[in-house]
Amino acid sequence: MKNLILLLAIAFISSCMPMSGGMDTLHFPPAPTAEIKEQVELFLSSTDPQVENEILSRLKNARVSNEEIKSILRDRQPEPVLTTGLQLDLEKNFNDKSYPYALYVPAKAKAGDSYPLMIVLHGMGGSGGNTIPKWVDRLAEDFIILCPSYPMGAWWAQPAEDLVLQLIQEVQMKYPVDPNRIFLSGLSNGAIGAYMIGMFYPDLFAGIIPIASGITPRYMHFLVNLKNTPIYIIQGVHDPVFPIKLTRRVHQILRDMKYPVIYREHEERGSAHGGHFLPINEVLPLVQWMKKQNRDPNPSVVRMTREANHLGRIHWVRVRKGLKMAALQIPGPEREPVHVQDGKIATLFASQNGNNEFLVMGKNLLEFELFVNTEMIDFNAPVRIITQNLLDENGEIVPGEKQERFNDKIEKDLEVLLRDFKQNRDPSMLFDGKITLSLEKTYARLVP
């Protein structure tokens, strides 16, 4: 009903405006701030593409600037904090099912505060409800804590991943979460989820914390994505569930790439599960580390490896299309489309070189996007993009010839700003425009 009313209102206002020159020449008077805020909120809440397009058209015709919209998006406040303390019986409706989750909000929390958010994923046989009490004791009153539940703790499955991401956004809308201090952790199966979700969405987190777990060599390729995301690993030498050699290999890869990693290996044995647990003496160093972490939302260098099921933006770069890409997915306990196929992984390394210049290096990369804002470039000057293919010669990665792909000014675009925010809900990463470039002709020459 609200969408219908909005459409009627827009139609009425449009009918009252002079039509000389057509719709493109209409100029609405500057809208008051309250009206602009109302239109932005309607855009963010609407599920109707027609309504979204009407609002975008109205904002553009009213000459609303990107700066005004960014100010509104940064100043958006969560709902008033009505409930604090431990909430064990919450439910999330998702994919036509109801999933339980547990939440803890410090008693002193109120609107205008800023708290780090800790998400903890349980292992097989666990639940959010029986996981959260320990973390409330460990983190005291300094963190908001979210513990969702998923069958068998199969957090690697696509529905589980989507559930976690939606819950994070909902908690951010309701409570005073600092977007630059969101942490993802888990134990056992939950730690596999922390690895996988953390590697596929690394720019969301200030840190990821896998405990008593590991990943197979096939997924170690995606550790490349953690260039700007600190990882704190805790693993037992005597863990009977996840061999220590897997975690040691993960640590070696991250250390060789000079990535921000803390590796804590312990020799304790629990009475029930050997070394497959979080020792008490590891808690304090972990919490102290977490309190020092802050996400860098706009790093100068971004590195990524992508497969076809995960092509979203990481920081300010997105792989749109790759050469014969694999679509990797580990099936979970619920019905879902399973796309496991042989194929390639696309690699992209991007750097801001100053003076409006970017270098993009890629392997199996056919199309990419760069998202930019006023903190990154001068919109009054041309932007220059240089690309360089990474070639595989006898098992060695060799940089190819550099080519200038783009050298022109770009315009700020309200649609880019609002649509990207609507998808990611991140007030610390707001982009004024984007550049899309194709490398398909280059690969047609290089690939037989």
Give the per-residue SS3 of the chain. CHHHHHHHHHHHHHHCCCCCCCHHHCCCCCCCHHHHHHHHHHHHHCCCHHHHHHHHHHHHHCCCCHHHHHHHHHHCCCCCCCCCEEEEEEEEEECCEEEEEEEEECCCCCCCCCEEEEEEECCCCCCHHHHHHHHHHHHCCCCEEEEECCHHHCCCCHHHHHHHHHHHHHHHHHCCEEEEEEEEEEECHHHHHHHHHHHHCHHHCCEEEEECCCCCHHHHHHHHHHHHCCEEEEEECCCCCCCHHHHHHHHHHHHHCCCCEEEEEECCCECCCECCCCCHHHHHHHHHHHHHCCCCCCCCEEEEEECCCCCCCECCEEEEEECCECCCCCCCCCCCCCCCCCCECEEEEEEEEECCEEEEEEECEEEEEEEECCCCCCCCCCEEEEEEEEEEECCEEEEEEEEEEEEECCCCCHHHHHHHHHHHCCCCCCCCEEEEEECHHHHHHHCC
The answer to whether the beta carbons of residues 95 and 159 sit under 8 Å apart is yes
Q: Does residue 56 fall inside a structural domain? A: yes
Q: Do 343 and 392 fall within a single domain?
A: yes
Q: Which of 395, 403, 408 is nearest to 439 (CA)?
A: 403
pLDDT band at 339, cuts 50/70/90? low
Instruction: Name beta bridge partners: 87.
Output: 103
* Tally of domains in the chain: 3
| Those residues with Cβ within 8 angstroms of residue 128's Cβ, 6 or more apart along the chain or in another chain | 100, 101, 102, 120, 122, 147, 148, 149
Q: Do 346 and 283 fall within a single domain?
A: no
Q: What angle do CA 121, 291, 120 make, to 5 degrees?
A: 5
User: What distance lies between CA 359 and its chain's CA centroid?
Assistant: 23
Share of the chain above pLDDT 70, in %: 90
Out of 240, 268, 292, pick the residue that ends a domain.
292
Candidate from 126-130, 402-406, 442-446 with smallest mean pLDDT: 442-446
pTM: 0.89
Q: Does residue 80 fall inside a structural domain? A: no
Q: Say which residue the tokens 């250390």 belong to.
A: 255
pLDDT band at 445, cuts 50/70/90? very low
- In this prediction, residue 3 carries a pLDDT of 43
Q: Does residue 384 fall inside a structural domain? A: yes
Which phi and psi angles does 157 have, rounded to 5°? -70, 150
Q: Do 228 and 329 fall within a single domain?
A: no
What is the torsion angle, in degrees rounded to the nearest 10, for the CA atoms of residue 229, residue 392, residue 399 and residue 319? Answer: -50
Q: Do 272 and 312 fall within a single domain?
A: no
Q: Does residue 327 fall inside a structural domain? A: yes
Out of 263, 292, 321, pick the residue that ends a domain.
292
Q: What angle do CA 438, 443, 448 make, to 5 degrees?
A: 155
Strand order in the sheet with 396-408: 301-306, 346-354, 357-363, 383-393, 396-408
- In this prediction, residue 272 carries a pLDDT of 62
- In this prediction, residue 7 carries a pLDDT of 37
Between 397 and 209, whose confidence is greater?
209
Q: Do 188 and 264 fall within a single domain?
A: yes
- In this prediction, residue 442 carries a pLDDT of 59
C-alpha span between 244 and 428 (Å, rounded): 37
The answer to whether the beta carbons of residues 259 and 331 sit under 8 Å apart is no
**How confident is the model over 10-30, as pLDDT tens digits?**
333 333 333 333 333 334 444
**How confident is the model over 100-143, as pLDDT tens digits?**
999 999 999 988 899 999 999 999 999 999 999 999 999 989 99
Candidate from 55-64, 248-257, 284-293, 330-339 with smallest mean pLDDT: 330-339
Q: Say which residue the tokens 């099912």 belong to.
A: 97
Q: Does residue 75 fall inside a structural domain? A: no
Q: Do 285 and 307 fall within a single domain?
A: no
**How confident is the model over 253-288, as pLDDT tens digits?**
999 999 999 999 999 987 667 889 999 999 999 999
Out of 292, 322, 339, pick the residue that ends a domain.
292
Q: Do 214 and 268 fall within a single domain?
A: yes
Q: Does residue 177 fall inside a structural domain? A: yes
Q: Do 263 and 114 fall within a single domain?
A: yes
Q: Do 180 and 305 fall within a single domain?
A: no
C-alpha span between 383 and 50 (Å, rounded): 33
C-alpha span between 50 and 67 (Å, rounded): 24
- In this prediction, residue 342 carries a pLDDT of 76
- In this prediction, residue 341 carries a pLDDT of 73
**How confident is the model over 138-173, as pLDDT tens digits?**
998 999 999 999 999 999 999 999 999 999 999 999
Q: CATH number of the domain that 178 lies in?
A: 3.40.50.1820
- In this prediction, residue 21 carries a pLDDT of 37
Query: Structural domain of residue 43, as residue ranges?
Result: 2-64
Share of the chain above pLDDT 90, in %: 79
What average pLDDT score do residues 238-258 get?
A: 96
**How confident is the model over 50-84, as pLDDT tens digits?**
999 999 999 999 999 999 999 999 999 888 888 99
Model confidence at 31: pLDDT above 60? no
Model confidence at 446: pLDDT above 50? no
Q: Do 234 and 310 fall within a single domain?
A: no
Model confidence at 310: pLDDT above 80? yes
Q: Do 280 and 364 fall within a single domain?
A: no
**How confident is the model over 202-239, as pLDDT tens digits?**
999 999 999 999 999 999 999 999 999 999 999 999 99
- In this prediction, residue 444 carries a pLDDT of 45
Model confidence at 4: pLDDT above 50? no
- In this prediction, residue 303 carries a pLDDT of 98
- In this prediction, residue 197 carries a pLDDT of 98
Q: Does residue 76 fall inside a structural domain? A: no
Q: Do 143 and 192 fall within a single domain?
A: yes
Instruction: Name beta bridge partners: 232.
Output: 262
Q: Does residue 178 fall inside a structural domain? A: yes
What average pLDDT score do residues 400-424 get?
A: 96
C-alpha span between 308 and 346 (Å, rounded): 9
